[in-house]
Amino acid sequence: MTEEFASKSAAAIDRAKAEGRAALVGYLPAGYPTVQESIEAGIALARNGADLIEIGIPYSDPVMDGPVIQAATTEAISNGFRVANVFDVVAGITAVTDAAVLVMTYWNPVMRMGVDEFSRRLAEAGGAGLITPDLVPDEAHEWIEASNKYGLDRVFLVAPSSTPERLDMTVKASRGFVYAVSIMGVTGTRTSVSSSAESVVARAHAAGAERVCVGLGVSNPDHVREIAAYADGVIVGTALVAALRDGGVDAVGQLTKNLSAGLGRAAAEA
Amino acid sequence: MVDAPTAGSEENAADAFLQGGPSLRNASGPYFGSYGGRWMPESLVAALDEVQDTFEKAKADPDFIAQLKDLNKNYSGRPSLLTEAKRFSEHAGGARIFLKREDLNHTGSHKINNVLGQALLAKRMGKTRVIAETGAGQHGVASATAAALLGLECVVYMGAEDCRRQALNVARMQLLGATVVPVTNGSQTLKDAINDALRDWVSNVEHTHYLLGTAAGAHPFPAMVRYFHEVIGEEARSQILEQTGKLPDAIAACIGGGSNAIGLFHAFLDDASVKIYGFEAGGEGVETGRHAAAISLGRPGVLHGARSYLMQDEDGQTIESHSISAGLDYPSVGPEHSYLADIGRVTYEAVTDTEAMDAFSLLCRTEGIIPAIESSHALAGAIKIGHRLTQGKENPSDVTVIVNLSGRGDKDVETAAAWFNMLDEEGHVKGTTLSTRKPKGPTERTNEAAVDVNEDQN
């Protein structure tokens, strides 16, 4: 991983590491149910134990998302969400918390605004970088340039199906952390964590990744505890979105608190 | 993108072509100029590599080529005919219009060419299940057919709105043993069916091949789907030479994702004298915003794995497309078409629902052929270019035009009956109940006249 800049995501993960635990990464969509409430929900994430926050941009064709996140992002769009609102959400959260705030986005909205323009505004809002589910490093020439220019983290994904060559290439192109997809599938809660997750993390570490976080299908403290034993961070999305849907901002805070209880390695609670 | 040429170099490509430069045929991808590529989740990259590798090996394997040839001949019924449409031609400025009869293929459209090729590849990869998206149902029916023939499980994703528009095709797929999944996300049309098919693929990629139905999507699909359809243009080129002794002045096809079009165009790309036209769905009119004319009115973006012209709003959200033809109702287009548009080799124009339906009716009444509404867009376009190319010509019949009649219109009879006001309030065809039935006169009528007569009967 290239580290020419002080990576906000890396710093947040390292702070957790110094406390003897894995980092918690919480996902919520921008503008769901409204822009203001998504800021409040993001703040609740940070105040209840999330070290990094992933703010998703609602998009018309979210091919990597399951039904819960699809329903939430569709509602955000019909409630009037505009892509530029994501910078308000990021700024609103970073203004009052220490969490590293990344944006998770499908690529076309970024391309439409202009990769440089998008990056500049994200950096201005205090954002840490981008997680790009449908952008592989092979197509990321423009983003690599812009992220270098504005000091943003580039979080690419690796999957159980990634070949050693691709894993190596992706780890080298990433900055901040590498997002290990635990299973072959889309976002959504699952009863257990796939056994392939641990081997993807091990392969990414072996390829030189200093920080690897695991996402997809992680929804309860038991999952968090299992993954925290071998990964540098644990990513939870759908379960938090469902909590926000069913119980509002308070429910997000409560679930985050429960999830963070699973972060400690062995008995080494900080 | 790596190696993405600038706009300047695309102009150079056009110049080079006009000066007899490098061939435009057999473009292998992943890029067509600055279009194409692989804008896909990492989870699917290994599967795309496997498809590409299997395809490349198969192309070089005489056994595979022989197998495909045999299926094309003895199962699909290729070569398809090239039929001169003499009475229809009178309405196209007198230019001689020739129809490439993909409607006569087994399953009733060009789609069978691609599915047989890809289903054979699926077998070679050891996959036991194929999934497909479908708009009009033609690709779904073709996929279900190939799956039945080769003993593969088949699941077809189809927008709920399209299931309603094409209920007969849903039943056909089910009869062929496929499972049809109605897609209720988004606009409930083709693009949303592709989204759900991609979600299925990423979850089941180990034993499943995604049998994408058009020359779009991530590499290798655009080049691979084109390869399986190239037979259309190859046959048409030798048939027209045989029938007229010369190359056509122009060729025309309809464009949704653009697979029938690229299949016809490919053989003629290097014939500089042949003008090439693609007709997009102009829906209710391009000025209304309710259309599916991605090249005419879109701007480059990424959707479903490829960079190409795309109907999108200021935020990069995909705009819902509109067309009377479910098969053209797609907000983007295959990346090779975007490239051919930019370099000026192919001219892309929009044809409205009304123009397409007029051409549909005209072909029914002048040639005794009921065309698919998709193909009717190409027929409407051919009327326009026929008039254009014969202007000022002493002998208009010197001008020859090939139109790809990509599918037959049986599936569209209900839509057409509603369009031409042939149904009563209950959705029954007017004049079919005993109380209202009376003999019809022998005179040829315009559509409006036909409607009036029907109303008189009630």
For the segment B195-242, what is each residue's pLDDT rounded down to a tens digit? 999 999 999 999 999 999 999 999 999 999 999 999 999 999 999 999
Look at A142 and B1 and tell me if their CB atoms are within 8 Å: yes
pLDDT digits (tens, 9 = 90+) for A208-228: 999 999 998 899 999 999 999
As annotated, the active-site residues of B are 111, 133, 406
User: Before B220, cis peptide (omega within 30)?
Assistant: yes
3-state SS, residue B175: helix
3-state SS, residue B292: strand
Look at B316 and A112 and tell me if their CB atoms are within 8 Å: yes
Q: Flag whether pLDDT at A262 surpasses 60.
A: yes
DSSP calls for B226-261? HHHHHHHHHHHHHHHHHHHSS--SEEEEEESS-HHH
Question: How far A266 CA lies from chain B's nearest CA (Å)?
Answer: 31
pTM: 0.92
Owner of token pair 């180990």: B206
Mean pLDDT over each residue of chain B, to the nearest integer: 91
pLDDT at residue B15 in the model: 60
Which of A3, A14, A61, A65 is flagged as catalytic?
A: A65
Q: Flag whether pLDDT at B159 surpasses 50.
A: yes
User: Before A33, cis peptide (omega within 30)?
Assistant: yes
| A65 classed as catalytic | yes
Neighbour tally for B405: CB within 10 Å: 34
Residue type, A256: T
Q: A79 near A31, Cβ under 8 Å?
A: yes
The kind and range of the H/E element at B405 are: strand B400-405
Say if residue A195 is exposed, middle or buried (CB neighbours under 10 Å; 0-12, 13-18, 19+): exposed
3-state SS, residue B186: coil
Give every CB contact of residue B355 below 8 A, 6+ residues apart in sequence: B282, B377, B380
Question: How far B117 CA lies from chain A's nearest CA (Å)?
Answer: 25
The upper half-sphere exposure of residue A23, i.e. CA atoms within 13 Å in the direction of its Cβ, equals: 30
pLDDT at residue B5 in the model: 42
B439 vs B171, more confident: B171
Q: How far apart are CA B428 and CA A177, in angstroms?
A: 63
The kind and range of the H/E element at A118 are: helix A115-124
Q: Phi, psi (5° rounding) for residue B52? A: -60, -45
Question: How far A257 CA lies from chain B's nearest CA (Å)?
Answer: 31
Q: Flag whether pLDDT at B179 surpasses 80.
A: yes
Look at B318 and A61 and tell me if their CB atoms are within 8 Å: yes
Q: Among partner residues B46, B205, B303, which is closest to A163 by beta-carbon distance? A: B46
Owner of token pair 């139905």: B213
The predicted model gives A157-176 an average pLDDT of: 97
Look at A166 and B185 and tell me if their CB atoms are within 8 Å: no
pLDDT at residue B12 in the model: 56
**Residue A185: which pLDDT band, with cuts at 50, 70 and 90?**
confident
Q: Flag whether pLDDT at A269 surpasses 50.
A: no
3-state SS, residue A185: coil
The predicted model gives B409-414 an average pLDDT of: 91
Q: Flag whether pLDDT at A197 surpasses 80.
A: yes
Q: Among partner residues A83, A111, A136, which is closest to B42 by beta-carbon distance? A: A136
Q: A108 near B332, Cβ under 8 Å?
A: no
Q: B219 near B36, Cβ under 8 Å?
A: yes
**Residue B440: which pLDDT band, with cuts at 50, 70 and 90?**
low
The strands making up B400-405's β-sheet, listed across from edge to edge, are B82-84, B96-101, B400-405, B250-255, B275-283, B346-352
The predicted model gives B88-116 an average pLDDT of: 97
Query: What's the CA angle centered on B285, arms B282 and B289, to 5 degrees?
Result: 90
3-state SS, residue A178: strand
pLDDT at residue A267 in the model: 41
Q: Among partner residues A64, A160, A170, which is closest to B41 by beta-carbon distance? A: A64
Q: Which of A114-128, B3-17, B65-79 has the lowest mean pLDDT?
A: B3-17
pLDDT at residue A183 in the model: 86
Terminal CA-to-CA distance of chain B, rounded, Å? 63
Which of A40, A51, A54, A168 is flagged as catalytic?
A: A54
B448 vs A253, more confident: A253
pLDDT at residue A155 in the model: 98
pLDDT at residue A266 in the model: 47
pLDDT at residue A243 in the model: 98
B444 vs A10, more confident: A10
What Cα–Cα distance (Å) separates residue B45 from each residue in A17, B70, B305, B340, B388?
Answer: 32, 32, 11, 26, 46
Q: How far apart are CA B353 and CA B405, in angstroms?
A: 17
| A54 classed as catalytic | yes
What Cα–Cα distance (Å) separates residue A30 from each residue in A3, A45, A79, A116, A253?
Answer: 28, 13, 11, 21, 17
pLDDT at residue B442 in the model: 56
For residue B1, the chain A residues in CB contact (below 8 A) are 139, 141-142
Look at A162 and B45 and tell me if their CB atoms are within 8 Å: yes
The predicted model gives B313-325 an average pLDDT of: 94
Say if residue B150 is exposed, middle or buried (CB neighbours under 10 Å; 0-12, 13-18, 19+): middle
Give every CB contact of residue B442 below 8 A, 6+ residues apart in sequence: none
Structure tokens at B200: 């299925």
b vs e for A136-151, b when ≥16 Cβ sit within 10 Å of the residue's Cβ? Answer: bbbbbebbeebbeebb
| B46 touching A (Cβ < 8 Å) | yes
The kind and range of the H/E element at B42 are: helix B42-59
Strands A178-181 and A212-215: parallel
